[in-house]
Amino acid sequence: MLWALFLWLSLVGSPQEPTYQYIIIDIDPTPLTGPLLASIFHSWHLYGQYFTTLESLPLAMESQSLWVIAGMFPNSEQIPESTGQMIEEYLQTVPNARFYLEGGDVFAWDPQTGFWDPKPWMGILQAEDSGFGDEILIGVENSLIPDWVGDTGIYTGEYSWVDQFSPDPNPPHGGTAEVVLLEPDMMGQGVIFRGIAYDQGSWKTMAFTMEAGGLTGTLNTAAFAYAILSFFDIPVEVVEDSLPSPAPRAGTIICTDGLLRLPDLGPGPARISLINASGRMIWTHRFPVILPKEIRLSHPPSGLFFLSVQTKAASRVLPVLFLRTP
């Protein structure tokens, strides 16, 4: 009987390891994210390929992860339905498939005009074409990519009528979808979700409506890529000093008994705003002449918040921990 078992094992074989750790399909006519990701992955000794046409998509069947970058309107490309069906096959066929999709119109505008709809496959309930608010992103409390919690990014990439979306509380393929990145409510018009992570149970996806190559700050492109690779279960041996073009991690401001020390960003006028962990602005104040070195809040909150400071010369978003002494 043992010989029959050995014969069966020789015929069936064991599951094959993917040939590649990543395949990048960059169809952005003005590429920004794709070349940066390829450079970062190469510096981290990951094995993969970078392509600029959808014709290379079949190679994804040999890859642990697939990264498709479509660009931002008007410098963007659409994903045809036939191509989308290949991505669906990848997710359902490759064991533990991982998929990243980036684009300003691929989640709402493009599906409304006859192109592939990725929402059911990425844990997205609905999406709509929208404008653009402040050039600030924050990582919010979530269980899928906790590395971003408390990080802030300044966005310098392209934008024009960027899609916004929301996670599906009951994805059609099962699993869990969560908001991981958002634009805070700086104008009293509500938060805007910009990043949704999805763990289906077998495959995992990350949807992003902006250009990761345009991120600076503590949430820079390298930190962005590293966190997604961790979520995708792709191990990377890297020390912080080897991250390509990192921005120094801003220290958390400790505010005790309402005494809030402000960063020096040049002369006024200036506006400071306090944002809670859900991205909603809870307080704002304008200084018409000069930004003081510190202010005292009469009714300070408690816990972790974000402080936005904007002057003519610069703008920063910093985490603030409010403490109260006994």
The total number of structural domains that make up the chain: 2
Query: Considering the domain boundaries, does residue 11 fall inside one?
Result: no
Co-location of 30 and 75 in the same domain: yes
pLDDT tens digits along 299-316: 888 776 778 787 777 777
Inside any domain, residue 71? yes
The answer to whether residues 67 and 195 belong to one domain is yes
Would 6 be classed as within a structural domain?
no
- Domain's final residue, options 215, 242, 269: 242
Q: Are 134 and 186 in contact (CB under 8 A)?
A: yes
Shared domain check, 260 and 138? no
In a domain, 21, yes or no: yes
Q: Is residue 138 domain-shared with residue 285, that is, in the same domain?
A: no
Residues 220 and 279 in one domain: no
Question: Looking at the structure, do residues 202 and 267 belong to the same domain, yes or no?
Answer: no
Out of 207, 242, 277, a domain closes at: 242
Same domain, 271 and 231: no
Say if 130 falls within a structural domain. Answer: yes
Residue 232 shares a structural domain with residue 112: yes
What would the two tokens of residue 153 be? 């990014």
Residue 309's domain comprises 253-323
Q: What is the pLDDT of residue 48?
A: 95
Which one, of 45, 77, 12, lies nearest residue 4 by Cα?
12
The CATH number assigned to the domain holding 25 equals: 3.40.50.880
Domain membership of residue 124 (yes or no) is yes
Which residues of the chain are modeled with pLDDT < 50?
Answer: 1-15, 239, 241-250
pTM of the model: 0.75
Last-in-domain residue among 190, 212, 242: 242
Same-domain status, 97 and 194:
yes
Would 112 be classed as within a structural domain? yes
What does the pLDDT read at residue 5?
36
| Same domain? 51 vs 80 | yes
pLDDT at residue number 157:
85
| 80/228 same-domain check | yes
Q: Does one domain contain both 136 and 271?
A: no
